[in-house]
Structures are given as C-alpha cells and as structure tokens.
C-alpha cells in the first residue's frame, strides 16, 4: 500500500501523534489561559491512547507508507514514560525518523533518555529571548533560561535540535533578528512560523501575521540569504542559507505562501482521532476501532480509504469564505499538535 495516494495524488509519509492534550504553558496563540483555566476539562486517562495502541497504529501507518513520526501534544513531555514510547516506535521496522516537538521546559530532565530510546530530532519552541516578552506569550508559565538549558542538554545528548519561533505582530517581531543571531552562534537551525488561524481560541486576525517576506527582510540585516535546495519533497519550512556559509534558517509560511500541494502529513489526536489536515473540523475515531475486535488489516484498509478520499488544502484556499465556514469548528492546536 506504499503507493497510496489522496485525491490530489499526495502520498502518506508523515504521522504526527499527540500524546496528551495537557500543557504546562498557556501560549496566547494556542491555549489562552482565559479559555484553558483551572476548570477546563482535559481528557481523562482512559480516553487517551495507550502506548500499546499508539504502537499498533504506527505499525499500521507504516504499512501504508509512513516513514517519519513526530511526537507532539499539548506538551508531550508531560506524558509519563515518554522515552518508553519512543523506544517502542524506534523498534518498528520501516520507521526512518522520530522527532519530538516540545516547549523545552522538561527537556533537561529527559534529553538523555529520549536520545537513548532512539529519538533523532527535537524541535524546541521558543518565541523570545526576553524573559518578559516570553512570559507574556506563554501565559507566565515558563522561563527562557530553562528552555535554553533544555536545548543545550538535547544537543549534548546528540539530538539534532531546531528552534521554532511563532512570530506575532506587536508581540515578538522585535526578536526576529536577535533570535537569528543567537541561534546562528549556537549553530542550531531557527525556524520562524507565521502565526496561523488554527483552532477557534486565539482570536486570530490576518493583521497579526508577520509574513515570510517581512521576516526575510529583517533577517537579511545579519547577512544576505540564499534559498537552499529542499532536502525532500514536502518539506514544511522553506530554507535559506546565509550567503557567508554561516548556517541557515527556515520559514514556515502557511498563511502567505502555503504548501498544501506536497502535504503528506496525517495527525492523530491524544484521544485517537485521525485528522487529514491541521485545519480539519472532523476526525475519524481510530480508538473505537482499536478497542473493538477489529484486526489490523481491516483498520489499515479503513485508514487507506480515508486517505484516498482526502481533498484538504485549507491553506491554499484560505480566504474570508473558507475561514467563516470553519469558524468555531476547527480542532484546537493543543489537540493535534502542529
């Protein structure tokens, strides 16, 4: 089934698995504290996929063409014994790469164990080097210094580290150049992410987006940038190298320069729903299939059928009408993890 294609001839190659809907941050653009307060009903543990269930699904997805796994959340390092899951996935034949997206606060504690378990790469989210601005963006839950320590430990453990910075107008655009300089010096790749209209909680407005073009203009203050040749089809970030050979940056421009034509990503939420787009409004309940007496071959066939029906290209089509149609119905980022 490796030649499985959706309606736009896109293969299924990447699987992003959210292992928890909980988070120790309250980033305004993702889980604003006003909406995700003390009385917010997170998923009870029996509704979340177990490691056995995730392992089973990964095997099924690999049989359909998936090669790369990304573990995300919520904050994935809040899930107990995460290195055990990484190790199980690492042993599945056909998995070529396992990555983790994290806010980095618990990375210092887990980096070694994750690397030993077979994790290859980690993307650490950090929106500013200024403690005050970072605090405002993460709902006063995390410190720059802690995230930087996590990044260092991850690099020491041999993990390939990338940094993700969501850029929001009026919040952290003044950090674009300083972040580039800092991580160029540290030799970690920084990737800027255009602020996206994911979920329904963040009150997104197009005016709050700092575009790829604006970001590029700012970073070129350091040195001219030249486009880099993509490593593979479907690469999420557009990569640029400093013309003087001193490193590279990436920009994930879902809003101003979308890339749906090569999107080979499927996502599974912590409760086991399959989503074929980050901006989906409905998912397919895989957990029910796993917990009913349905064999893996049948589950594989059903997932293949979902992928074959896929027509998603939300970012390519984003306009006032498509946005209005999905208003209040999109799945939250903290459920499917970016």
Interface residues with ligand SF4 (CB under 6 A) are: 23, 25-27, 30-31, 73-75, 103, 125, 254, 259-260, 263, 265, 277-279, 312-315, 333-334
338 lines the binding site for ligand SAM (CB under 6 A): yes
CB of 63 to ligand SF4, least distance (A): 22
- Minimum Å gap between C-beta 4 and ligand SAM is 26
C-beta of 24: minimal distance to ligand SF4 in Å? 7
- Cα–chain center distance at 143: 21
Over the window 71 to 110, marking each residue x when it contacts ligand SAM by CB under 6 A and - when it does not, the resulting string is: -xx-x-------------------------xxx-------
* 28 contributes a contact to ligand SAM by CB under 6 A: no
Q: Answer yes or no whether residue 289 interacts with ligand SAM by CB under 6 A.
A: no
Kindly determine how many residues on this chain lie close enough to bind ligand SAM according to the rule CB under 6 A.
Answer: 21
> Cβ 279 to ligand SF4, closest distance in Å?
5
* Residue 29 in the binding site for ligand SAM (CB under 6 A): yes
267 is annotated as contributing to ligand binding: yes
Phi-psi category of residue 97: left, alpha or beta, with phi > 0 → left and psi -120 to 50 → alpha: beta
Query: CB under 6 A: which stretch of 194-202, 259-267, 272-280, 291-299 binds ligand SAM?
Result: 194-202
Examine residue 111 and tell whether it contacts ligand SAM (CB under 6 A): no
The entry of ligand SAM, ligand SF4, none near residue 63 (CB within 5 to 8 angstroms by kind) is none
- Rule CB under 6 A: is residue 195 a binding residue for ligand SAM? yes
Site for ligand SAM in 233-252 (CB under 6 A): none
| CA atoms of 97 and 78, how far apart (whole Å) | 22
Residue 259 contacts which entry, ligand SF4, ligand SAM, none (Cβ below 5-8 A, type-dependent): ligand SF4
Binding site annotation covers 186? Answer: no
Name which of 262, 240, 143, 139 is nearest 189 in CA terms.
240
HEC sequence for the chain = CCCCECCCCCECCEEEEECCCCCCCCCCCCCCCCCCCCCCCCCCHHHCCCHHHHHHHHHHHHHCCCCEEEEECCCHHHCCCHHHHHHHHHCCCCCCEEEEEECCCCHHHHHHHHHHHCCCEEEEECCCCCHHHHHHHCCCCCCHHHHHHHHHHHHHCCCEEEEEEEEECCCCHHHHHHHHHHHHHHCCEEEEEECCCCCCCCCCCHHHECCHHHHHHHHCCCCCEEECCCCCCCCCCEEEEECCCCCEEEEECCCCCCCHHHCCEEEECCCCEEECCCCCCCCEEHHHHHHCCCCHHHHHHHHHHHHHHCCCCHHHHCCHHHHHHHCCCCCCHHHHCC
Q: Shortest distance, CB of residue 31 to ligand SF4, whole angstroms?
A: 4
User: What six digits make up the tokens of 149?
Assistant: 């320590």
166 binds ligand SAM (CB under 6 A): yes
Going by the annotation, the residues of the binding site for S-adenosyl-L-methionine are 29, 74, 125, 196
Residue numbers at the binding site for ligand SAM (CB under 6 A): 23, 29-30, 72-73, 75, 101-103, 125, 164, 166, 193, 195-196, 198, 202, 333-334, 337-338
Going by the annotation, the residues of the binding site for GTP are 16, 70, 101, 162, 265-267
């Amino acid at each position: 089934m490796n030649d499985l294609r959706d309606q736009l001839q896109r293969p299924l190659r990447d699987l992003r698995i959210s292992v928890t809907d909980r988070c120790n941050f309250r980033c305004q653009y993702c889980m604003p504290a006003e909406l995700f307060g003390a009385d917010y009903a997170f998923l009870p543990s029996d509704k979340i996929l177990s490691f056995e269930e995730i392992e089973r699904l990964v095997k099924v997805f690999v049989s359909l063409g998936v090669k790369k796994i990304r573990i995300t959340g919520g904050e994935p390092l809040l899930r107990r014994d995460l290195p055990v899951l990484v190790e199980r996935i690492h042993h599945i034949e056909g998995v070529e790469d396992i990555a983790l997206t994290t806010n980095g606060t618990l990375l210092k504690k887990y980096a070694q164990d994750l690397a030993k378990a077979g994790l290859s790469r980690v993307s650490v989210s950090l929106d500013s080097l200024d403690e005050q601005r970072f605090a405002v963006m993460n709902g006063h839950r995390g410190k720059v210094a802690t995230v930087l320590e996590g990044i260092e430990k991850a690099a020491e453990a041999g993990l390939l580290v990338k940094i993700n910075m969501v850029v929001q107008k009026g919040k952290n655009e003044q950090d674009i150049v300083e972040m580039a300089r800092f991580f160029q010096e540290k030799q970690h790749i920084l990737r800027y992410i255009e602020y996206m209209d994911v979920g329904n909680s963040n009150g997104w407005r197009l005016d709050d987006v700092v575009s790829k073009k604006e970001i590029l203009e700012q970073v070129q203050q350091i040195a001219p940038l030249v486009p880099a040749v993509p490593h593979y089809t479907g690469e999420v970030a557009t990569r640029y190298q400093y013309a003087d050979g001193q490193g590279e940056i990436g920009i994930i421009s879902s809003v101003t320069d979308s890339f749906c034509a090569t999107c080979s990503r499927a996502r599974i939420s912590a409760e086991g729903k399959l989503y074929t787009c980050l901006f989906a409004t409905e998912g397919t309940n895989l957990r029910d299939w796993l917990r009913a007496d349905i064999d893996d071959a049948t589950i594989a066939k059903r997932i293949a059928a979902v992928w074959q029906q896929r027509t998603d290209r939300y970012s390519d089509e984003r306009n006032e009408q498509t946005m209005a149609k999905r208003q209040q119905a999109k799945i939250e980022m903290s459920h499917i993890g970016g």
